């Protein structure tokens, strides 16, 4: 592809560039695809949960011994695992972003060079062609029918024609023509620093999953404060054993904190980044991983997505002797040929049809809106090349011939002469001179990928600027349902409701204008759909930007890649099912993990309330003090085998369930009854054991066995659907706890001992009642219906 050269100006010299670099006049608005190391360390070290657990650990060590602070090991695990995974994700993002980065074309010393946008200096001359982003701000010094799309800046969808001295701003992109502009405002002074570059910024916001978890944390924080105060007041009533009371109070507060939930969410996202990166899929925003898992409609741009980027000329059907020369002259006059014109140029070269040397008066570049390009020559009139249904009357025999070819899945262009033509006013006095027939290259994996989405219940909408017949023929070759009922977008209703209805009822759409693609996305979203959109060209940018998940092809235009959340660097459409699978893994497994952690929080709060209220009642009645059932080391043992280790494995396990709305309600509808089923039997058996007599360690052990067993049953339920390794995981956790009880050395370390007959019987009854209550609730609870 050639690039425009500024007539009469050679750009900056090497010495002038060096002077500006020395003065700091360099474009410093660099891309941030990942967080810096300092931010990752700060986010993993300095968290409220780490601070709270650290304070409780200090209290436990101060008033007891070091083993009572073993629960603080979660801080080390949080920091180590979270930091390592995020650093791995950072390396993956940074490496892939270098591949995805688009260079700028600058003119220096009379030559056109491709450089990193960060190396642009003030007063550089920057050449642009269709698909290029404007990376810094400045005035145009040359324009050849240049048209700029400024929709990302102004919201206005219509391209803006730019001429000499007009200002161009970063954040916009070229849709037609070529030009050269001077870098005037660079770095922090340009729009690029805060608009274009933010499209690739690493972020942990705008995620439904993370927002829901943050709501859980906020709610739990408000609940912990009064419950902890109640527990502290009730336990400090025993002035004689106040040191033991403080340690027991710590044991009551620690399990209320869902310490690993945020960690495992971050780890799941980071591992997803790494896994997709191995498939050459650049995730520019973390929440994008869950986006396609939630999507129920996938809008596909045919060209570049279902078909490969290039195409081949099947044949040229001339209707006049000068048609081959005219076609060659058009190809020679195009200084920024699109893939179609590149294919034409290759065909002409192979057949020995060289440039006839026709003198050009005016060039009219191709645009997605007009669907044609043209040139006015000095002695040969005006010639246009474009879509037959945009240039010819529908009853023209040549137009009918083009329709028959398009119905075979071929792409057809009409070569015509015109008495007059302009980019603003259209063309008139048209006479057909030839048909150019091209064959598109279907992706070998496209049919299989489309079938996957069909099986997964994701509706497909194929939208293209090509003729409806051509789009329908391609869809038929790929086995898409409804390929025989194509819709011409020029006849679509203007009202959003009417458009939404047509979209619900049809699958294949041709002659879709760029602004209509965005209207499609908005109409589907208005119907409650989560919409993913794929594309590769400048005409897809608006729809990519407004969709719930924009997916761009790596070989596509820089503008499309800059606004998409996901970029398929190797252009492999078949990667999308892996993106879906990764999103489902994250959502499904974090829901399982949330069930576990919030079950623990619920039973901890419930136990604290029961013990606190019971202790205050007993104290008021002059009875004996009711200590908390556990010390911190008991909670460490129970938590590690019912939540900590199992949650880590479950968070990274494969899952294929489709993402459903209602995450918060589903988790609460499991965690609250499960937590109650754990806490109430534990408290009852603890009270009975105390009243039965014997040492306090027997009552603690009985309560510990009860709580562990019911929590293990909750883990077994959460682990569904079952596989051999999940059975092994649950069994190993249960066996590890039993081993601790059975081996005197371990039991002594954890301050437990094997219970007697009475305690064993009481624990068995309590466990049976708790598990029965949990199973009964799962059977009778109302089923969640996905919207």
Catalytically annotated residues? 301
State how far the Cα of 439 lies from the Cα of 178, in Å rounded to an integer.
28
Hey, which residues does 133 pair with through a beta bridge?
173
CA atoms within 13 A on the CB side of 119: 14
- Considering only CA atoms, give the Rg of the chain: 34
Of 357, 356, 331, the C-alpha closest to 346 is 331
Cis omega before residue 721 (within 30°)?
yes
State how far the Cα of 328 lies from the Cα of 445, in Å rounded to an integer.
35
CA atoms within 13 A on the CB side of 365: 23
Sheet holding 307-318: strands in order across?
307-318, 431-442, 410-418, 381-386, 372-377, 360-364
State how far the Cα of 246 lies from the Cα of 227, in Å rounded to an integer.
15
587 exposure class (CB count in 10 Å sphere: 0-12, 13-18, 19+)? buried
Phi/psi at 784 (5° precision) = -80, 130
State how far the Cα of 416 lies from the Cα of 430, in Å rounded to an integer.
6
Phi/psi at 282 (5° precision) = -90, 115
State how far the Cα of 279 lies from the Cα of 697, in Å rounded to an integer.
55
Apex CA 102: angle with CA 99 and CA 107, to 5°? 135
* Sequence-separated (6 or more) residues with CB below 8 Å from residue 298: 292, 453, 458, 459, 460, 461, 531, 532, 533, 534, 576
Element (H, E) at 140: strand 138-149
Token pair 């030559």 is found at 111
Strands 549-553 and 531-535, bridge-based pairing: parallel
CB 719 within 8 A of CB 729: yes
Phi/psi at 228 (5° precision) = -65, -40
Alpha-helical runs (H) found in 659-756: 663-692, 696-718, 724-742, 744-749
Of 681, 642, 774, 604, the C-alpha closest to 220 is 604
Token pair 């324009």 is found at 143
Hey, which residues does 366 pair with through a beta bridge?
none
Compute the Cα dihedral for 690, 694, 696, 699 and give only its sign: negative
* Sequence-separated (6 or more) residues with CB below 8 Å from residue 146: 128, 140, 161, 162, 163, 174, 176, 177, 178, 179
CB 143 within 8 A of CB 179: yes
Strands 167-168 and 459-463, bridge-based pairing: unpaired
């Amino acid at each position: 592809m050639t690039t425009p050269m500024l007539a009469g100006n050679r750009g900056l010299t090497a010495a002038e560039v060096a002077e500006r670099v020395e003065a700091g006049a360099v474009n410093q608005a660099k891309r941030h695809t990942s967080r810096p190391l300092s931010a990752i360390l700060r986010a993993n070290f300095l968290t409220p949960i780490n601070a709270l657990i650290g304070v409780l650990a200090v209290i436990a060590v101060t008033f007891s011994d070091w083993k009572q602070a073993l629960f603080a090991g979660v801080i080390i695990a949080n920091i180590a695992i979270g930091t390592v995974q995020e650093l791995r994700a950072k390396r993956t993002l940074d490496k892939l972003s270098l591949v995805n980065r688009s260079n700028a074309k600058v003119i220096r010393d009379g030559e056109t060079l491709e450089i990193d946008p960060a190396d642009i200096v003030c007063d550089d001359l920057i050449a642009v062609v269709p698909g290029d982003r404007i990376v810094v701000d400045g005035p145009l010094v040359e324009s050849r029918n240049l048209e700029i799309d400024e929709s990302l800046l102004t919201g206005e969808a219509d391209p803006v024609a730019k001429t000499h001295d007009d200002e161009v701003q970063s954040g916009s992109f070229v849709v037609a023509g070529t030009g050269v502009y001077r870098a005037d405002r660079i770095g922090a002074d340009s729009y690029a620093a805060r608009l274009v570059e933010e499209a690739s910024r690493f972020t942990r916001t705008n995620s439904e999953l993370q927002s829901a978890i943050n709501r859980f944390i906020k709610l739990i924080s408000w609940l912990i404060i009064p419950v902890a105060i109640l527990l502290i007041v009730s336990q400090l009533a025993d002035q004689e054993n106040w040191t033991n009371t403080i340690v027991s109070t710590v044991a009551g507060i620690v399990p209320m904190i869902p310490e690993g939930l945020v960690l495992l969410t971050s780890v799941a996202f980071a591992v997803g980044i790494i896994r997709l990166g191995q498939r050459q899929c650049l995730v520019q925003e973390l929440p994008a991983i869950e986006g396609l898992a939630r999507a129920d409609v996938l809008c596909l741009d045919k060209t570049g997505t279902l078909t490969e980027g290039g195409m081949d000329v099947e044949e040229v059907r001339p209707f006049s002797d000068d048609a081959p020369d005219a076609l060659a002259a058009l190809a020679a006059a195009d200084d920024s040929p699109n893939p179609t014109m590149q294919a034409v140029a290759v065909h002409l070269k192979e057949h020995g049809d060289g440039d006839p040397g026709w003198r050009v008066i005016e060039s009219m570049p191709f645009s997605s809106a007009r669907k044609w390009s043209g040139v006015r020559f000095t002695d040969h009139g005006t010639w246009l090349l474009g879509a037959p249904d945009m240039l010819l009357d529908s009853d023209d025999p040549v137009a009918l011939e083009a329709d028959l070819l398009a119905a075979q899945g071929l792409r057809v262009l009409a070569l015509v002469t015109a008495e007059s033509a302009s980019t603003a006013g259209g063309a008139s006095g048209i006479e057909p001179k030839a048909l150019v027939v091209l064959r598109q290259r279907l992706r070998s994996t496209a049919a299989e990928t489309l079938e996957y989405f069909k099986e997964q219940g994701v509706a497909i909408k194929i939208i293209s600027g090509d003729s409806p017949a051509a789009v329908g023929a391609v869809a038929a070759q790929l086995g898409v349902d409804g390929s025989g009922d194509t819709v011409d977008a020029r006849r679509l209703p203007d009202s959003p409701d009417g458009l939404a209805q047509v979209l619900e009822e049809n699958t294949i759409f041709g002659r879709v204008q760029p602004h209509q693609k965005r209207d499609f996305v908005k109409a589907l979203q208005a119907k409650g759909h989560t919409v993913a959109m794929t594309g590769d060209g400048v005409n897809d940018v608006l729809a990519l930007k407004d969709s719930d998940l924009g997916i761009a092809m790596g070989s596509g235009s820089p503008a499309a890649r800059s606004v998409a959340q996901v970029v398929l660097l190797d252009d492999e459409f078949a990667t999308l099912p892996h993106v879906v699978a990764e999103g489902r893994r994250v959502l499904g497994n974090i829901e399982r993990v949330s069930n576990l952690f919030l079950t623990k929080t619920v039973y901890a709060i419930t136990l604290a309330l029961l013990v606190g209220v019971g202790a205050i009642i007993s104290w008021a009645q002059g009875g004996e003090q009711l200590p908390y059932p556990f010390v911190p080391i008991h909670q460490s043992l129970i938590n590690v085998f019912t939540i900590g280790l199992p949650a880590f494995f479950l968070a990274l396990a494969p899952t294929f369930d489709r993402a459903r709305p209602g995450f918060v309600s589903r988790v609460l509808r499991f965690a609250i009854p499960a937590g109650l089923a754990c806490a109430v039997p534990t408290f009852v058996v603890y009270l009975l054991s105390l009243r039965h007599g014997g040492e306090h360690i027997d009552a603690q052990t009985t309560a510990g066995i009860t709580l562990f067993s019911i929590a293990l049953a909750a883990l077994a339920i959460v682990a569904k659907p079952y596989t051999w390794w999940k059975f092994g995981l649950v069994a190993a956790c249960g066996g590890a706890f039993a081993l601790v009880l059975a081996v005197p050395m371990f039991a002594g370390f954890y301050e437990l001992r094997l219970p007697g007959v009475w305690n064993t019987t009481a624990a068995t009854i309590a466990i049976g009642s708790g598990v029965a209550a949990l199973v009964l609730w799962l059977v009778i609870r109302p089923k969640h219906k996905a919207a």
